[in-house]
Structure 1
Amino acid sequence: MKTTVFKVLNFLKNFILNNIDIIYTIPILTYKAINYDKTISPEYFSYGLIFIPVLVSVIAVSSISLLFKNKGRTRFLYLFNIIMSIIFIADTAYYRYFKDIISISVIRNGVMLGGVQSSLKDVLFPSDFLYLLDCVILFPLIRIYRKHVNRPQLKLVQRFACFLVVFAIGACWDAQRIYKLSVEQPRLISTMFNRLYLDKILGDVNFHVLDAYNVASTKISNMKSIPKSKQDEIKQYLEKKDVPQGTTLAGAGKGKNLIVIQVEALQQFVIGQKINGQEITPNLNKWIGKSLYFNNYYYQVASGTTSDAEFLSLNSLYPAATGAAYYLYPGDTLNSTAKQFNDKGYNTVTLNGYQEGFWNRNVMYKAEDFTNYYAEKAYNIDEQVGLGLSDKSFFNQTFDKMKTFKQPYYSFMITLSSHFPYDDQKGYGNTIDLGKYKGSFIGDYINGIHYTDAQLGMFLDKLDKEGILKNSILVVYGDHYAIPKNEAQGLYDFEGIQNASDLDWNNLQKVPMLIHFPDDANKGVNSIPAGQVDLYPTIANLFNLDRKYMFGTDLINAKNNIVTFRSGSFVANNTFYASYSNTYYDMNTKKTVQPTAEMSKVKTDTLNQLEYNDDILNHNLLKKFIQEDASAGKK
């Protein structure tokens, strides 16, 4: 009996020693992955929900090590541990800023993120590097392990058999979970439109494996032509949206100039607000009072942030599913505002005071058919604030250029000084007494946007005094969020919000949008739910432009509207659907509600729009549609 027990114990001891590398790797990476998911989902985190998918995904990947010989196996597992630890660190930092998960396309576009690098100190914490602590400790231990443990060298067929057994255990269980989710949330995995929710349900290892698979399969799929029936379906959908809903202010801009200003990081919560008796945006407040103001206007950007705001506003198309459309689709045919204004004999110009190639603008503006592009090389960089040329100098120099433009013209300009991290406006005047907010993130932002407001006000007053606004329609809007998710509490405190919900956060993701008419005509407030994809069709109504192939809505004539976000969330009929938590909110009561048949239909339409949008971009369908129209003799 003692001999049998001894043999069993000896067998167990040898088994553990011979397989300590894989026995260690599976639980440690499972722990790290669960810890990461708890970090990104404190409100909805559940060990019972995430443990199994995380464990089986780690088992499935770790099983690959069994194909290697002894040293190769240990090396594979060690590298797997290091790579996943680095991914956990990167994903954690990225989530703090963007409230999203890094994808392959984001990494591919990393060079385009510009000023985000300067924010690393704010989103990367020393405690994050604890993910790598065991890797450092393990390095010398692995050398000792190799010297003192001589495990049997298995033949290839034996190693392959071990791999199949362990892989089958992990992969089959994992596949069952993935399949179940695909049934509950159709198209979630194939489109990955809601990366955050996917990571919360399946874990980070599964997410990145699925992301890699989707990138590869999308590339292969895009090499194939899309079925004609699907093309016709998309075209018919867009043609239905082309039908005008009214004639209010139709053609009001005929023959007039159009001046559009996209303001960096301008969010709505600062509008009309005061600190210590001082208005944060006194100039915008003044011009809002003289304009048609849309106070329920959401930004709809994704990974491309500022460039996405341009893409939405100039083309009435949604951003790319992953990455930046400006970087991914410069070869596509687009039916942009500039193209249509060119057809009407306008001089089309875009202006910003930063590098010509940033966000691939020097290439994309050609695709969007702007006649002229003025950027850093066209300006005297005589004063820098933040990333580049100060808004003060940019507006002064732009004003001088505009006086020389042949009329009528369409000018699209982008400001820069209020770009993150909002800490370089001091010393340039126009500061505000921040009181208790001095030195805080939100305090720096308020000071930064107060500076930009002053320069914008100066510019608009000069346009008015010069008489330019007598023959121009002016549009001003914010491009995207200013306050990242990791600084949400400061924003909630500023707004006096306690026990914040997803709905509270969504309500703060609005940007101002105003349309100013000559002689301050048509001023007032329009509260229709709206987004940046709606700007182009609204402009099209004012200037009698073709409204074909747009996802947006003419806000002046619409009675209601649905705001679709790239994540799959939406606002419709006083309901907000948060895709990342799969929750519906009544925007009046602020309580969660069960989805109605109407909301389920809106959700389906939202997913259809995003899928159609991706097909258009991935297969350059607008080119085919325009060619078909030309062949049929359509205008």
Structure 2
Amino acid sequence: MKNHWNKVSSFCNTKLGFFTLTIVLAWIKTYLMYLTKFNLGVKGSLQGFLLFLSPLATTILLFSIAIYMKGRKSYVYLLIIDLLTSTWLFANILYYREFSDFLTTTLIKGAGSASNNLGKSILGIIKPTDFFAFADVLFLVLLLVFKIVKIDIRKLNFKIPTTISAIAVVLFGINLTMAQQDRSGLLTRTFDNNYIVKYLGLNAFSVYDAVKAARTSAVKANADSSDLKSVRNYINTNHTEPNIQYTGVAKGKNVFIIHLESFQQFLIDFKWDNQEVTPNINKIYHANNTLSFDNFFNQVGQGKTADAELMLENSLFGLPEGAAMVTDGTSNTFQAAPAILGQKGYTTASFHGDVPSFWNRDNTYKSWGYDYFFSSKYFKEKKDYNIGYGMKDKIFLRDAANYIQQLPQPFYAKLITVTNHYPYILDKKNQTISKTNTGDSTVDGYVQTAKYLDESIGEFMAWLKATGLDKKSMVVFYGDHYGISANHKKAVAKLLNLKKFDDFDNAQFQRVPFMIQMPGLQGGINHTYGGEIDVLPTILNLLGISNQNTIQFGSDLLAPKRNQLVAFRNGDFVSPDFTKVNGTYYQTKTGEVVKNLTPEQKQQLAQKSNQVDTELSLSDKIITGDLLRFYKLKNFQKVNKKNYNYTKTKALKQLKATNKQKKNSLMSKNGNKSLMNLYHTDAPELDN
């Protein structure tokens, strides 16, 4: 035994031996992190073997760079490469924990547009075991510092590193071949990054992603009008006629879009601590003049809120990586709701209580045709006015009301709340309900921030009623994305008193509220299956605006003959009969796995999957190729970004001039006197 150990020790004291030790440690560490930190959906012995094998080839290839170096340099480079790959692994662990996805090139490029206030979120995500990602680096450094392993300064024969690199390439080829056999079209037809990491490893995914990002850039440069042909053919073939009974019932009304941050459908009528968590929203949901949808799903990808906004106002899907608002919002041509309504005589404005650059809104909103963007620059800022990702909702909505009363009517106003955002922290003076008791810190604070959001909505709706705006407006509420990710299944099961909470249940858990309230509206709870992609066509029909020739992938949620297939960004779907999750089909009503498919069922499921893939790929084609620059929409003028300026002094000067001309804002009709005395809030910060 001692002799054997001496041989191992002697080998590790050579450059090749230390290299081998480094490879083995990094390989085993990465595999263990794959198993414990990611939910990659490994099924069967082949996928299990590939998960084990996948880190090896790229690790050898990357680390082999160091052994081309002479003397001590090879050790230094080897440790630097190990540290960099470990840091990349660590970063992905943190990102995946909250977003169930991996970091991409486009996401990193746009990090500056969505990085504000991330510090608290990151601290809330980190677990002590995450630092195991650096364990091998620390161990190797200690071996060298304490001279347990001595540095071998001898130069290796050039054939050795080249042979090692060649072995790595061959090994990767074997890995890829086996992966392709289990998952046909792995690198050509995938909408889920989990597949790439599961089969090829995180490093390979990073290279794949970088290449894909470069190709996307090239696609936009080479795109031309002929690329629109397949898109238009699909849109025309699958166009759904809207519900004529609702056509124009809201014509001329003001439109409020109220963004319920991270608000999931299960919160409706949910009780905790013997009280309703969201009594105000519950009241709206069940009102006779509210159209409520209980099978409405979020369809976001990595862009989350940005994806929701994109779908809501353009009826285009978010991108598979990153956020289109960040990567394409500044340069692309859009035919979005603000521009459509703006050209119909509406004043358009978006309100958000954080910096204007968040998600690149200050540039994207110009491309979408927003007249005004009331960001944090427009609101009074005090230290205790903000929490997490911007102004507290009660203060934000009150301050937003001051500008709403100045908007010429009719107007289209979107208000983005933020307090109900991860990590769901709320100061004690604003807590009006106790935390839940799942033991999961992410989940347990969720009801507190949700209740705070609900209270702020109650205050805002009371002001609309007090000013009479409620009678002149259609108010649309929507939840932008999930609040509790798939990484908290046990806690969700406990919270909802469920015996299980698996991948199927999580797919159903993606329901978010969608409600439309207006005096005289024939309301009720609608059970149709739909999602955020369908919001714009629905709103346009209610306003009496046709979307016959528009490039939109959604359809009127009230249409009697609509296709109730809801596509998720990763290629999965939900429909009234079947649900697809990670390649497995379920009966939607029972949650049972579909077995022994009939030929008719096989054909039906194949058609659904093909439709989802087609819609996602065509939508991606529009955005990555900036194809709308080639499309002339009848009675629509292309947005000129130069016409918009969100600088506070210039924008308010413009607003004042417009009011002087039109004289139809709420405040103008009140003799230019403010109606803010009618706004009542119990926000404790305002008592100071």
- TM superposition score normalised by structure 2: 0.83
> Residue 606 of structure 1 aligns to which amino acid in structure 2?
V
Cα distance, 1:25–1:464 mapped onto 2, change above 3 Å: same
Query: Matched residues in 2 for 1:559 and 1:248: separation?
Result: 15
Matched, 1:282 2:285: no
Query: Matched residues in 1 for 2:131 and 2:90: separation?
Result: 7
Q: Which moved more, 1:50-59 or 1:31-40?
A: 50-59
Q: Displacement, 1:368? A: 0.5
Matched, 1:576 2:576: no
Q: Displacement, 1:406? A: 1.7
Tell me the equivalent position of 2:564.
Answer: 561
Does the residue aligned with 1:370 lie in a helix, a strand or coil?
coil
Tell me the equivalent position of 1:204.
Answer: 202
Tell me the equivalent position of 2:652.
Answer: none
Tell me the equivalent position of 2:421.
Answer: 419
Matched, 1:236 2:233: yes
> Residue 57 of structure 1 aligns to which amino acid in structure 2?
T
Q: Displacement, 1:189? A: 2.1
Cα distance, 1:289–1:144 mapped onto 2, change above 3 Å: closer
Matched, 1:178 2:206: no
Query: Matched residues in 1 for 2:462 and 2:555: separation?
Result: 31
Contact 2:474 2:516 in 1 (8 A): yes
Tell me the equivalent position of 1:530.
Answer: 530
Ranges in structure 1 where 5+ consecutive residues have no aligned partner: 1-5
Structure 1 residues 506-545: aligned runs within 5 Å: 506-519=507-520, 521-545=521-545
Query: Matched residues in 1 for 2:439 and 2:82: separation?
Result: 42
Query: Matched residues in 1 for 2:95 and 2:276: separation?
Result: 33
Query: Matched residues in 2 for 1:391 and 1:629: separation?
Result: 38
Query: Matched residues in 1 for 2:407 and 2:490: separation?
Result: 46
Q: Displacement, 1:556? A: 0.7
Matched, 1:619 2:621: no
Contact 1:21 1:77 in 2 (8 A): no
Cα distance, 1:562–1:444 mapped onto 2, change above 3 Å: same
Contact 1:30 1:54 in 2 (8 A): yes
Query: Matched residues in 2 for 1:577 and 1:11: separation?
Result: 50
Structure 1 residues 163-562: aligned runs within 5 Å: 163-182=161-180, 185=183, 188-190=186-188, 193-225=191-223, 230-290=227-287, 291-329=290-328, 330-381=330-381, 384-387=385-388, 388-428=390-430, 431-434=432-435, 436=437, 440-519=441-520, 521-547=521-547, 548-557=550-559, 558-562=561-565
Tell me the equivalent position of 2:647.
Answer: none
> Residue 539 of structure 2 aligns to which amino acid in structure 1?
I
Does the residue aligned with 1:206 lie in a helix, a strand or coil?
helix
Count of matched residue pairs: 615
Does the residue aligned with 1:406 lie in a helix, a strand or coil?
coil
Contact 1:534 1:553 in 2 (8 A): yes
> Residue 378 of structure 1 aligns to which amino acid in structure 2?
Y
Contact 1:199 1:206 in 2 (8 A): yes
Does the residue aligned with 2:244 lie in a helix, a strand or coil?
coil
Tell me the equivalent position of 2:673.
Answer: none
Cα distance, 1:73–1:490 mapped onto 2, change above 3 Å: same
Tell me the equivalent position of 2:106.
Answer: 105
Cα distance, 1:187–1:231 mapped onto 2, change above 3 Å: farther
Structure 1 residues 577-592: aligned runs within 5 Å: 577-579=580-582, 582-592=583-593
CA offset digits 1:91-144 (Å, max 9, x no partner): 222121111112222222223143443122232112221221332232253467
Query: Matched residues in 2 for 1:16 and 1:147: separation?
Result: 5
Contact 1:340 1:546 in 2 (8 A): no
> Residue 452 of structure 1 aligns to which amino acid in structure 2?
L
Contact 1:190 1:214 in 2 (8 A): no
Contact 2:586 2:594 in 1 (8 A): yes
Contact 2:296 2:530 in 1 (8 A): yes
Q: Displacement, 1:219? A: 3.1
> Residue 312 of structure 2 aligns to which amino acid in structure 1?
S
Q: Displacement, 1:358? A: 1.7
Cα distance, 1:602–1:31 mapped onto 2, change above 3 Å: same
Query: Matched residues in 1 for 2:440 and 2:192: separation?
Result: 35
Query: Matched residues in 1 for 2:456 and 2:517: separation?
Result: 18
Contact 1:417 1:448 in 2 (8 A): yes
Contact 2:280 2:454 in 1 (8 A): yes
Tell me the equivalent position of 1:606.
Answer: 612
Query: Matched residues in 2 for 1:630 and 1:460: separation?
Result: 33
> Residue 569 of structure 2 aligns to which amino acid in structure 1?
R
Query: Matched residues in 1 for 2:223 and 2:630: separation?
Result: 12
Q: Displacement, 1:589? A: 2.2
Query: Matched residues in 2 for 1:336 and 1:298: separation?
Result: 21
Does the residue aligned with 1:515 lie in a helix, a strand or coil?
strand
> Residue 254 of structure 1 aligns to which amino acid in structure 2?
K
Contact 2:71 2:152 in 1 (8 A): no
Q: Displacement, 1:34? A: 0.8
Q: Displacement, 1:249? A: 0.4
Does the residue aligned with 1:413 lie in a helix, a strand or coil?
strand
> Residue 320 of structure 1 aligns to which amino acid in structure 2?
L
Query: Matched residues in 1 for 2:425 and 2:15: separation?
Result: 56
Does the residue aligned with 2:198 lie in a helix, a strand or coil?
helix
CA offset digits 1:172-202 (Å, max 9, x no partner): 2322432454465455424652111221222
CA offset digits 1:395-438 (Å, max 9, x no partner): 22333332332221111111122222222253136x12457469
CA offset digits 1:30-68 (Å, max 9, x no partner): 101211210213863764232233323323333333433
Query: Matched residues in 1 for 2:18 and 2:308: separation?
Result: 48
> Residue 125 of structure 1 aligns to which amino acid in structure 2?
K
Tell me the equivalent position of 1:38.
Answer: 35
> Residue 550 of structure 1 aligns to which amino acid in structure 2?
Q
What is the identity percentage for the equivalent residue pairs of Structure 1 and Structure 2?
Answer: 27
- CA RMSD for the aligned pairs? 2.9
Query: Matched residues in 1 for 2:12 and 2:433: separation?
Result: 69
Tell me the equivalent position of 2:21.
Answer: 24
Query: Matched residues in 2 for 1:172 and 1:316: separation?
Result: 44
Does the residue aligned with 2:31 lie in a helix, a strand or coil?
helix
Does the residue aligned with 1:592 lie in a helix, a strand or coil?
coil
Query: Matched residues in 1 for 2:22 and 2:606: separation?
Result: 43
Structure 1 residues 46-195: aligned runs within 5 Å: 47-111=48-112, 112-139=114-141, 141-142=143-144, 150=152, 152-154=154-156, 158-159=157-158, 161-182=159-180, 185=183, 188-190=186-188, 193-195=191-193
